[in-house]
Amino acid sequence: MTTDSSFDVVVIGAGPVGLACGLEVQRRGLSVCVVDKGALVNSIIGYPTNMEFFSTPELLEIGGYPMTTLHYKPLREDALDYYRRVAQTEKLTLRLYERVTGLEGEQGRYEVVTNKSRIGARFVIVATGFYDVPNLLLVPGEDLPHVTHYYKEPYAHADQDVVVIGAKNSSAKAALQLLRAGARPTLVVRGSEISESVKYWIRPDLVNRIKEGRIGCLFNSTVTRITDTTVELNTPDGPRTLPAQHVYALTGYHPDFSFLTALGITCEADAAQTPTHHADTLETNRPGLYLAGTVCGGLNTSRWFIENGRYHAQLIAARLAGEAAPDLPEVQQQVQFS
């Protein structure tokens, strides 16, 4: 397969941070191509219908474009429209539904290998996030068709028994929505209580519905097996079996470490398996290969989000253009979505 095109910079990942990297690089006179294995802002497409971001619009903006919304906090649909319009306005070169499989060469003459072509690049930026790889339960039956690690909407589950595994924001909102759509939800929680990290306006609602008995909840419990019609558990009172026509295993996500390895990026020997990079420049162990956004934190997926990860774009673009590092605001680390 021969190289079919070349750019100064190739950005891998067309999420908000990847798009921010593309436009900041392009504004500095460098040619850039943004490649993604899926759709534009593919992760946001996978978020629940009408999901409300925890952040206000100005914290999600990139490139100085205002995000307009009728809501105090934007919905998933607002963000989808916004990032599409930014990409179109900036006339970014996009190569969507093209999966990167490897990276050959060295700084100044890299070749990004995809399932469709080879793309030449002087520099490469990886902004692949973490939402594509769920944290698995590793129990029998997890691969059954009625088990999923992504929650979309509750309406298909009216008059059904649904087990939700997890105790953080996604699980809390899913359980509440399922209840109000006529399902019979039960939460399975590994710890002794609903996580204190659940947002203050969601947690009391969930706790009260559990106290009322409208949402079942088993604390200090773990899943041992999933069948076509049940979920089997270990609980403090011994084994227990729950009926389940659907199972939402909302146990979190992590970066695709096998993909990082395929690019030649090493990881540190810390608990987060932090991908190797220089904190001040975001350059990895391979010269000319950079990280941006959530992927920088490894398993610590609460460290970087759109709100603070978008500033990585300015830092990297300035460095590639030979400019002094910009003065960037300190952005409070906060959860990105509900």
Segment 80-108, tens digit of pLDDT: 999 999 999 999 999 999 999 999 999 99
Report the alpha-carbon distance of residue 6 to residue 227 in Å, rounded: 50
Domain span at residue 164 reads 136-249
Residues with Cβ within 8 Å of residue 229, at least 6 apart in sequence: 243, 244, 245
Q: Residues, the chain, total?
A: 338
Based on the fold, state whether residues 202 and 261 are members of the same structural domain: no
Task: Report the mean per-residue pLDDT for the chain.
Answer: 93
Report the alpha-carbon distance of residue 19 to residue 61 in Å, rounded: 11
**119-169 confidence digits (pLDDT tens):** 999 999 999 999 989 999 999 999 999 999 999 999 999 999 999 999 899
What number is the average pLDDT over the span 177-188? 98
Burial class (CB in 10 A: 0-12, 13-18, 19+), 16: buried
CATH number at residue 285: 3.50.50.60
Report the alpha-carbon distance of residue 290 to residue 260 in Å, rounded: 11
Report the alpha-carbon distance of residue 258 to residue 88 in Å, rounded: 32
Based on the fold, state whether residues 115 and 259 are members of the same structural domain: yes
Contact 32, 317 (CB under 8 A): no
Based on the fold, state whether residues 270 and 125 are members of the same structural domain: yes
Closest to 37 measured CA to CA, from 180, 133, 140:
133
Domain count, the chain: 2
Based on the fold, state whether residues 92 and 236 are members of the same structural domain: no
Report the alpha-carbon distance of residue 211 to residue 152 in Å, rounded: 26
In the chain, what's the furthest Cα-to-Cα distance? 65
Q: Quick one: pLDDT at residue 55?
A: 85
Q: Is the pLDDT of residue 187 over 90?
A: yes
Report the alpha-carbon distance of residue 149 to residue 138 in Å, rounded: 12
Report the alpha-carbon distance of residue 266 to residue 261 in Å, rounded: 6
**264-312 confidence digits (pLDDT tens):** 999 999 999 999 999 899 999 999 999 999 999 999 888 888 888 889 9
Based on the fold, state whether residues 298 and 157 are members of the same structural domain: no
Based on the fold, state whether residues 214 and 170 are members of the same structural domain: yes
DSSP string, 135-204: -----TTTTSTTEES----SGGGTT-EEEEE--SHHHHHHHHHHHHTT-EEEEE-SSSSS-TTS-TTTHH
